[in-house]
Structure 1
Amino acid sequence: MVSNKEGKEGKRVDVKESEPSEPEEIEEPGPHEKALIKELEDTKKQLEDAKKQLDETKKQHEDCKDSLLRLSAEFENVRKRTLKEKEEFVKYANEKLILELIDVMENLERGLENAKKAENKDKLIEGMELIYKQFKNVLEKNGLTPIKAPGEKFDPYKHEAMMQTITDEYEDGTILEEFARGYMLNNKVIRYSKVRVSKRKEDKIENEVK
């Protein structure tokens, strides 16, 4: 568009007025750009989720660390307490047995004092037998039992053969004599019986032939 305007000297000057420019159109992204934008948005969301999960993991780690420290301290306290209780148990485990043996010991002391003054040996023997029975009862009550030996079949888990006697009067492996009595404590052998065992003549001959 052209308009006439007067200049400084009064002359008319043609001035071309600029026409208003139209706004530029923004080109809509294509499928490739849209896919890229979506991928970036997904990646951003994944990063945010990963950061959130990492923060939660750190918190869980700190909580686990605190719990572990508490458990470690509690375990150490329990260990010390258990060790102390075990020491106390071992220290006083035989307290009841010792108290009963004290009674036997005191009866034996009284028996010895009476033996020094006794004129009747029968009463002295009777008193010693009573003390022996008391002592035996205390041991049996605490789980001690003697191992049977004479006349029994030799058992290597209970008996220790010190001698063999060649004879046909008894079956092979019969215990003929007990040199020292064996004992079991609550079904556990704590001392083997030392014994003499029979061996048949034919068994000896067969062994010599072999």
Structure 2
Amino acid sequence: MTQEETSGTAQEEASRVENKLEEENKELKERLLYLRAEIENMKRLINKEVEKAKAETTERIMSRIINIYENMKRAVNDIEQGNNPFRLAEGIKLILKEVESLLKSEGVKKMDVVGKQFDPFIHEAVAFVEDPAIENDNTIIEEIDPGYTLGDRILKPPKVKVARKPKTQQE
């Protein structure tokens, strides 16, 4: 084989490799475009599903709140008409049970704070008292108004009374 023939064969081979690489590059670009479109479609689908779930949750909660609202309207009507106070008290107890059931079903929990250490990021102190009998300074001794959580989030901080050691006992 002459040098020209070898050179021609090498050029043909290089041309074939180049064409093959260009074809692979084209296929990869098309695949990339397809995958990007798929990702966008998935994002749209996920957003749609999230919105649907939000709407269903809101609908479920609102339908329960409407029942509570209607019961409260009946209780107000009983008050205005001067109906039996015992019946009114029973109606209000029923409303409270409905609200408690709704809160429980949605994962809302009342915070247990008495005896715990006061934390200004969690609790709202409405009073501080000195108490020589307490073991730990800044101990919550009374819950004035309850607090509630949903998962690890505080929906309503509890209002509490906090005991401190008298100044002469503090270390």
Flag whether TM exceeds 0.5 (same fold): yes
Q: Decide whether aligned partners of structure 1 residues 76 and 153 sit closer, same or farther in structure 2, where only a CA change above 3 A counts.
A: closer
Q: Is residue 146 of structure 2 the alignment partner of residue 175 of structure 1?
A: no
Give the alignment partner of residue 151 of structure 2, picking from 170, 178, 186.
Answer: 186
For residues 158 and 6 of structure 2, the distance between their equivalents in structure 1, rounded to whole angstroms, comes to 86
Q: Which residue does the alignment assign to 2:78? A: 114
Give the alignment partner of residue 129 of structure 1, picking from 54, 76, 93.
Answer: 93
8 Å CA contact 2:132–2:169 kept in 1: the answer is no
Structure 1 residue matching 2:35: 3-state secondary structure = helix
For residues 71 and 8 of structure 2, the distance between their equivalents in structure 1, rounded to whole angstroms, comes to 94
Q: Which residue does the alignment assign to 1:154? A: 117
For residues 71 and 121 of structure 1, the distance between their equivalents in structure 2, rounded to whole angstroms, comes to 68
Superposed, which structure 2 residues align to 1:56-75 within 5 Å? 56-75=20-39
Structure 2 residue matching 1:175: 3-state secondary structure = strand
RMSD across aligned positions (CA): 2.6
Q: What runs of 5+ residues in structure 1 fail to find an aligned partner?
A: 1-33
Flag the structure with more relative contact order, 1 or 2, with Cα contacts below 8 A and sequence separation at least 6: 2
- 1:153 positional shift: 1.5
Q: What runs of 5+ residues in structure 2 fail to find an aligned partner?
A: none
- 1:57 positional shift: 0.6
Structure 2 residue matching 1:177: 3-state secondary structure = strand
8 Å CA contact 1:118–1:124 kept in 2: the answer is no
8 Å CA contact 1:159–1:195 kept in 2: the answer is yes
Higher Rg of the two aligned structures: 1
- 1:177-196 per-position Cα deviation (integer Å, ceiling 9, x unaligned): 32332101134322221211
| TM-score between the two structures when normalised by the length of structure 1 | 0.68
Give the alignment partner of residue 80 of structure 1, picking from 41, 44, 50.
Answer: 44
- 1:107 positional shift: 1.3
- 1:80 positional shift: 2.6
8 Å CA contact 1:158–1:182 kept in 2: the answer is no
Structure 1 residue matching 2:23: 3-state secondary structure = helix
For residues 69 and 79 of structure 1, the distance between their equivalents in structure 2, rounded to whole angstroms, comes to 15
The one-letter amino acid of 1:154's match is: Q
Q: Decide whether aligned partners of structure 1 residues 95 and 155 sit closer, same or farther in structure 2, where only a CA change above 3 A counts.
A: farther
The one-letter amino acid of 1:120's match is: N
Q: Which residue does the alignment assign to 1:100? A: 64
The one-letter amino acid of 2:90's match is: E
8 Å CA contact 2:108–2:148 kept in 1: the answer is yes
For residues 164 and 46 of structure 1, the distance between their equivalents in structure 2, rounded to whole angstroms, comes to 92
For residues 67 and 76 of structure 2, the distance between their equivalents in structure 1, rounded to whole angstroms, comes to 14
For residues 206 and 167 of structure 1, the distance between their equivalents in structure 2, rounded to whole angstroms, comes to 10
Structure 2 residue matching 1:94: 3-state secondary structure = helix
Between stretches 111-120 and 98-107, larger displacement belongs to 111-120
8 Å CA contact 2:141–2:162 kept in 1: the answer is yes
Q: Decide whether aligned partners of structure 1 residues 77 and 153 sit closer, same or farther in structure 2, where only a CA change above 3 A counts.
A: closer
Q: How many residues align?
A: 169
